[in-house]
Amino acid sequence: MPAVELINVSKTFGKKKALDNVSLAVEEGSFTVMCGPPKAGKSLIFRILVGLETADEGRILLSGRDITDEPASRRNIGYVPQSFALYPHMSVFDNIAYPLHLAGAPREEVARKVDATVAMLSITHLVKKTPDQLSGGEKQRVAVARGLMKDAAVFVLDDPLVGLDYKLRERLMDEMKQLCEELRTTFFYATSDSLEALTLAQSFIVLDDGRVVEKADVLSLYAEPQHVRSLELVGFPKANVLQATSAGGAVDLAGLKLAGPDGLAAGAVLAGIRPEDVRLDHSQALKTEGTVQIIEHLGSEIVVYLDVGGSPVTAAFAADGVVPPDLDSRIPVSVDPSRIMLFETASGRLLGRGRAGGAVHG
């Protein structure tokens, strides 16, 4: 039985359809990451789930029980909001103990639980302070601690690391992962950061413009994204998505010809290529040239931003023993056509992969 289930949930604000028939399930004991561009409806799904907003249509189940009409105060969900919302008039200890105090837990139990949680998050030294004395990362951990205090079946974390500096994010991501393993409960986590999603997720829900576009586990989502948004959101550097046209089963990608999957209809298509599949030589079947515009050295990896026939293309390769090209130089570029994913322009759905030999037909 899934820990959380949303069935055909829709929500409209004025004329804007914020959530369009969203159905999703979070398996018990999983770390599920909901990933999507900003404003895709991630926070709204969480707010509906915890009861701060009501859905226009659809049902919400918590461990199989219908909670659609229950008030927020009675849903047993641990919630870490995007804004920490720590009470400024309470000490850190009281902030963390807040859900327990509200539930009327006895004093010893409160002390025991808070002590255990602050130790786990290594914020024991902060409990006597007030929220305004804390740094961003400390506040974040206090908010997480408070969210975890409830004896909840599922914990919902709404992009809790947003706005924190890079180093801190990395450390907190590791802590979060450890926490999930220690607690063995269900985590439902939203983020718009690709790296964060990849680090934390066991399974993915990809959201785009109020719709669930893909549900998959982390490996298959990366290897075989079924939607162009999944390809764009998951992976770093960001995948290349180029305009292409198809006619007679062949695809024309900026002058390069490749064969499309069987049954490809004529019209505009999107071609998705992961940066690591772009080679800066002519070793692959589809060959062209590009101008180097930016080079980023990421230590183990080098990322080259190219201009290929007017379209921006990103290439990434292991830095190991490779001499990076010069800026503004024209260099060879090639791609294996079977590494090119073709998506329908209107729906964003995967049509299939390219094949060599398009030139023969075209």
**Binding stretches for other proteins (CB under 8 A):** 50-52, 71-75, 77, 79, 81, 83, 85, 87-89, 98-99, 102-103, 146, 150
Nearer to other proteins, 75 or 229 (CB): 75
Minimum separation from the CB atom of position 99 to other proteins (A): 4
Q: Which is nearer to other proteins, 87 or 224 (CB)?
A: 87
Cβ closest to other proteins, residue 71 vs residue 321: 71
* Pick 98 or 236: Cβ nearer other proteins: 98
What minimum distance in Å lies between the beta carbon of 278 and other proteins? Answer: 43
Please enumerate in sequence order all residues whose Cβ is within 8 A of that of 89, keeping only pairs 6 or more positions apart, or say none. none
Cβ proximity to other proteins, 81 vs 358, nearer residue:
81
Minimum distance from CB of 251 to other proteins (Å)?
49
- Closest distance between other proteins and the C-beta of residue 50, in Å? 5
For other proteins, the closer of residues 72 and 119 by Cβ is 72
* Closest separation in Å from C-beta 194 to other proteins: 26
CB of 217 to other proteins, least distance (A): 29
